[in-house]
């Protein structure tokens, strides 16, 4: 890792909007494939000039983790199970 790599221990520390290289690190995929997923509307993103910005929630949904709001609603819903959902896996690193 170089000195610009930032380590996150929880999804709550990951920024709401990710760049392609950040999303590629999180998903362990090539940046070109992340761009392809954005163009195919698999990942929710938008273009800022020539670069893509990707919604953190769409990355979490792609991984099958849901969004933070989904997890909160599942815990606070009246018909929610007695135990809360387990915490998500720690995030390795982002530039």
Express each pLDDT in 2-37 by its tens digit.
Answer: 456 666 677 788 889 999 998 998 889 999 999 999
**Structure tokens belonging to residue 84:** 């809360």
What is the per-residue pLDDT for 1? 47
Contacts of 62 (CB under 8 A, 6+ apart): 27, 37, 42, 43
Calculate what percentage of the chain has a pLDDT beyond 90. 36
Weakest-pLDDT range from 9-13, 30-34, 58-62, 76-80: 76-80
Q: How many CB atoms lie within 10 A of CB 54?
A: 25
**Structure tokens belonging to residue 41:** 């509307």
Number of domains in the chain: 1
Counting other chains too, the contacts that 31-40 makes at CB distance below 8 Å and 24 or more residues apart are 37/62
Q: Residue 72 belongs to what domain range? A: 1-95
70 falls in which pLDDT band (50, 70, 90)? low
């Amino acid at each position: 890792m170089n000195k610009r790599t930032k380590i996150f221990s929880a999804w709550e520390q990951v920024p709401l909007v990710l760049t392609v290289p950040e999303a590629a690190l999180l998903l362990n995929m090539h940046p070109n494939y992340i761009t392809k997923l954005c163009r195919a509307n698999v990942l929710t993103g938008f273009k800022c000039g020539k670069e893509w910005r990707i919604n953190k929630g769409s990355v979490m949904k792609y991984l099958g983790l849901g969004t933070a709001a989904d997890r909160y609603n599942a815990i606070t819903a009246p018909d929610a199970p007695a135990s809360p959902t387990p915490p998500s896996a720690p995030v390795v690193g982002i530039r």
